[in-house]
Amino acid sequence: MSAFLALSRRELLLLWRQRGEPLIALAFFLLAALVFAFGAGPDAALLQRIAPGVLWASALFAVVLSLERLFESDHAEGALDQLALSPISLPMVVAAKVLVHWLGSGFLLLLAAPLVALAYGLPWALWPTLLLTLLLGTPSLSLIGAVVAATALGARRGGVLIPLLALPLMLPVLILGVTAADAAAAGLADGAHLLLLGAALLFALPLSLVAAPAALRQALEAG
Amino acid sequence: MVLLQGRALAAERGWRLLFRDLSFELDAGGGLLLNGPNGSGKTTLIRLLAGLQPPLAGRLLWQDRPVDEDREGHRRRVAYVGHQPGIKPALTPGEQLAFEAGLQGVPAGRLAAAEARFHLTRFRDLPTALLSAGQRRRTALARLVLSEASLWLLDEPATSLDAEGEASLWALVEEHRAKGGLVVVASHGAVPLAGVARVDLAQFAPAVAPA
């Protein structure tokens, strides 16, 4: 446990020292949302209707953009070797890194989401549902992303490979998030959708903590 | 007493056989020096001894027990300093070592000893990205002072070190051996360690197929 805390603390310190990277992901998120608005045109009713989808799609792109840094530098600098030889187990390494990755991606986007919601004129009644879907859904994105980032280690074009592999795997989370917001917009109960998002998270958590360490071990064995 | 034993080890890299039929024994306090031309498999052998890579053939034994039966136990006895020593450029040497201490569960009191040993005090609070190659190497080696591992695996540990740094390194290794620790060093340069066995990897290279 103390090793987990030590690694989490190091990851947080690195996130702060290299804060340009999460800020770039954040800027990308806001810009992507803006691009969709220009693409859809000035129809206020249409903008309101597509706001949840735009938010989720932009969040997906921004998270995928931030995945390469998750393991790549640790692998290239030999820090992954040291972690593999230290008392901390690889699943715990993944857990600590995913947790801090989420703080620097999904959580950050959640904080910025109200800006986009305001710009799209999203009705106040939908805000709680939309923010809840992001809170429940974005950790799944980081967990799925960790598997993909670990798998792409050592691949010559890892940076290009990651979005290609990650986006299809993340689509179910996006669909659940957007349908929850749609249900709320139609005046229906959104509870079932939120529960499904929670279930997706509970599914992604053990899957990621088994698959990502296995992929890391592969990368270590390749040298 | 024989602690570490390699029996007929073979390894490949990228489908190319590097060495085969390599056997060795290391007693408590023993040292093994790996020589060989570039690409002969020194780094691969060291990673194999660390348990980071499985051998292609042969067995690695610790006290007559195969290492792959007890990976957890093996990684606790290994300290590895490689070409890429895993120093984060955005952290200072002080932060890096404090993290290592936390990770290994070593009391923070040992940090001062580790920093003093390799004279890190002058640059301990500078970001590693600004340090020279030798200063980074010193930071990586200072981890050995924190480590409680019995098997030290050092891949070209003296690279970029000045005379004073080298002296600190070899003195530390001899102290470790005096306490019964084991060391395996891959090096092209002179290694002033007493009573170490030598393995020339070129002797274990596969025979070139006749044309």
Q: Is the pLDDT of residue B121 over 70?
A: yes
The residue-averaged pLDDT of B20-33 equals: 94
Residue contact B53–A220, C-beta within 8 A: yes
Q: What is the DSSP string of B1-22?
A: -EEEEEEEEEEEETTEEEEEEE
Residue contact B87–A9, C-beta within 8 A: no
β-strands B151-155, B78-81 pairing: parallel
| CA-based nearest distance B211→chain A, Å | 30
**What is the chain B residue with the closest CA to A93?**
B103
Q: Is the pLDDT of residue A97 over 70?
A: yes
pLDDT band at A222 (very low <50, low <70, confident <90, very high): confident
State pLDDT tens for residues B39-60.
Answer: 889 999 999 999 999 999 999 9
Residue contact B80–A10, C-beta within 8 A: no
| Mean pLDDT over each residue of chain A, to the nearest integer | 93
pLDDT at position A178: 94
B-contacting residues of A 204-223, CB under 8 Å? 220-221, 223
pTM: 0.92
Cβ-Cβ pairs closer than 8 A, A with B, add up to 85
Is A127 in a helix, a strand, or coil?
helix
The Cα–Cα gap between B84 and B26 comes to 26
**What is the chain A residue with the closest CA to B45?**
A223
A20 at the B interface (CB within 8 A)?
Answer: no
| Contact between residue B158 and residue B169 where contact means Cβ atoms under 8 Å apart | yes
The complex scores an ipTM of 0.92
pLDDT band at B209 (very low <50, low <70, confident <90, very high): low
Picking from B194, B90, B181, B180, the residue whose alpha carbon sits closest to that of residue B144 is: B181
Identify the contact set of chain B against chain A, taking CB-CB distances under 8 A. Answer: 13, 43-44, 47, 50-54, 75-76, 78-80, 82-91, 95, 99-100, 102-105, 127
